[in-house]
């Protein structure tokens, strides 16, 4: 897949990525470590939103239960850490395996339905996970579990916000590149075709249900990786990570950024969490302002922020194509 770097829809997200790459340098120079932790959270949620975009944007699977995978990824670090296991390979392998199994089972059951029923079943599975971890009194219950031994990948220890930021940024770049390639790959095109008309996809010999389940499992695994990074950033895992409100926030990020677009999750996470932080510093009643602003931003662009940038592409293209007309006409009269 090739990008036209002159288009605003490509140039603006790339500039944002470059800005994110410079965050640790600027924050260190200004002696503001808070900004490293804050933007690390944005990058991690952008990864989770990218995971959800695979299911929601590409496959139109409106999952209200992706917080389940975020929480499983967090506890894949916390529970081994409780037994003094700090191997990052073990944490990552456990995270991917558990999320794959959970997504496979819950996805196979949920995909037997559609519409509002699918939404409610995925929500129910996430709430089941929430109450399961609340019931684990030996591991903190609803108070959560502190992580004493963060993930170690050889010499790399994710015990500092800077290390987590660096790893999360690399994961985000790779995930964005992979999803961009997947979007135009045969699997991605078939998945998007099933979103439009599942019967036609089945008629040509491709099983839409299998495509959707595969996308759901891959989405759950990638979301689990973001949970692993979030647990290391906070040095803490809590059942609140599996709350339905977290799933709702991820959906808002995807819709706000632009469902099915390559850069939508990044744009949505930046806008959502950035605006939230600004309003928190402005007023204690920030939620009363935050909600209407999100609605207005969603209404301003039918396809989210990515859609607005694509409209700028069109405006720029029209401007470039019409500008030579005048000189050409003048030359003809001459």
pLDDT band, residue 333 (cuts 50/70/90): very low
Q: What number of residues does the chain have?
A: 334
Which of residues 6 and 325 earns the better pLDDT score? 6
- pLDDT value of residue 37: 95
Whether the full predicted model's pTM is greater than 0.95, yes or no, is no
- pLDDT value of residue 8: 79
Query: Residues 180-236: pLDDT tens digits?
Result: 999 889 998 999 888 888 888 888 888 889 999 999 999 999 999 999 999 999 999
Domain range 8-316, CATH class: mainly alpha
Which of residues 300 and 109 earns the better pLDDT score? 109
- pLDDT value of residue 322: 55
Report the DSSP beta bridge partners of residue 145.
Answer: 237
pLDDT band, residue 5 (cuts 50/70/90): low
As a whole number, mean pLDDT of residues 126-132 equals 95
d(CA 73, CA 246): 14
pLDDT band, residue 318 (cuts 50/70/90): low
d(CA 205, CA 190): 11
| Count of CA atoms in the C-beta half-sphere (13 A) of 99 | 35
- pLDDT value of residue 293: 79
d(CA 209, CA 125): 19
Average pLDDT, the chain: 88
Q: Is the pLDDT of residue 320 over 70?
A: no
Q: What share of the chain in percent tops pLDDT 70?
A: 91
Query: Residues 273-314: pLDDT tens digits?
Result: 998 888 888 878 778 888 887 777 767 666 788 888 888 777
As a whole number, mean pLDDT of residues 52-59 equals 93
pLDDT band, residue 263 (cuts 50/70/90): very high
pLDDT band, residue 18 (cuts 50/70/90): very high
d(CA 232, CA 324): 56
> Which long-range contacts does 268-274 make (Cβ < 8 Å, 24+ apart)?
268/46, 268/49, 268/304, 268/305, 269/42, 269/43, 269/45, 269/46, 269/49, 270/16, 270/42, 270/46, 271/297, 271/305, 272/45, 273/41, 273/42, 273/45, 274/42
Secondary structure E strands in 269-312 = none
d(CA 328, CA 334): 10
- Nearest residue to 44 via CA among 14, 74, 22: 74
d(CA 96, CA 102): 10
DSSP-based three-state secondary structure for 181? helix
- pLDDT value of residue 144: 92
- For residue 61 the two structure tokens come to 């699977």
- pLDDT value of residue 326: 43
- pLDDT value of residue 312: 79
Per domain, the residue ranges of the chain are: 8-316
Instruction: Kindly write down the DSSP assignment for every residue of 9-37, as one continuous string.
Output: HHHHHHHHHHHHHHHHHHHHHTT-HHHHH
pLDDT band, residue 171 (cuts 50/70/90): very high
- Cα 75 to Cα 94, 169, 246, 277, distances in angstroms: 10, 21, 16, 26
| Count of CA atoms in the C-beta half-sphere (13 A) of 35 | 15
- pLDDT value of residue 334: 31
Q: Is the pLDDT of residue 247 over 90?
A: yes
Q: What share of the chain in percent tops pLDDT 90?
A: 66
d(CA 299, CA 266): 19
Query: Residues 64-105: pLDDT tens digits?
Result: 999 999 999 999 999 999 999 999 999 999 999 999 999 999
Q: Is the pLDDT of residue 324 over 60?
A: no
- Tell me the pairing of strands 145-146 and 236-237: antiparallel
- pLDDT value of residue 199: 83
């Amino acid at each position: 897949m090739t990008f036209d770097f002159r288009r605003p829809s490509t140039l603006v997200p790339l500039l944002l990525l470059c800005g994110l790459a410079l965050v640790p340098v600027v924050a260190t120079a200004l002696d503001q470590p808070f900004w490293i932790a804050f933007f690390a959270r944005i990058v991690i949620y952008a990864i989770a939103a990218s995971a959800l975009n695979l299911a929601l944007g590409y496959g139109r699977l409106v999952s209200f239960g992706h917080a389940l995978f975020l929480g499983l990824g967090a506890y894949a670090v916390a529970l081994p850490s409780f037994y003094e296991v700090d191997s990052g390979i073990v944490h990552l392998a456990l995270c991917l395996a558990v999320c794959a199994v959970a997504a496979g089972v819950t996805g196979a059951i949920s995909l037997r339905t559609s519409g509002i029923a699918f939404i409610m079943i995925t929500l129910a599975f996430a709430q089941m996970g929430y109450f399961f971890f609340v019931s684990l009194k030996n591991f903190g219950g609803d108070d959560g579990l502190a992580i004493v031994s963060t993930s170690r990948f050889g010499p790399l220890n994710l015990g500092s916000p800077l290390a987590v930021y660096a790893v999360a940024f690399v994961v985000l770049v790779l995930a964005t590149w992979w999803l961009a390639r997947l979007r135009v790959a045969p699997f991605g095109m078939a998945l998007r075709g099933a979103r439009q008309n599942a019967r036609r996809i089945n008629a040509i010999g491709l099983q839409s249900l299998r495509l959707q389940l595969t996308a759901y499992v891959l989405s759950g695994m990638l979301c689990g990786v973001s949970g692993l990074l979030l647990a290391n950033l906070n040095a803490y895992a809590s059942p609140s990570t599996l709350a339905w409100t977290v799933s709702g926030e991820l959906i808002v990020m995807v819709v706000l950024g632009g469902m099915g677009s390559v850069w939508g999750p990044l744009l949505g996470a930046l806008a959502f969490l950035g605006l939230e932080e600004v309003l928190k510093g402005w007023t204690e009643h920030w939620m009363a302002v935050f909600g209407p602003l999100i609605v207005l931003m969603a209404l301003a662009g039918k396809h989210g922020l990515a859609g607005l940038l694509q409209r700028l592409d069109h405006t720029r293209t029209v401007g470039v194509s019409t500008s030579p007309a005048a000189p050409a006409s003048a030359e003809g009269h001459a």
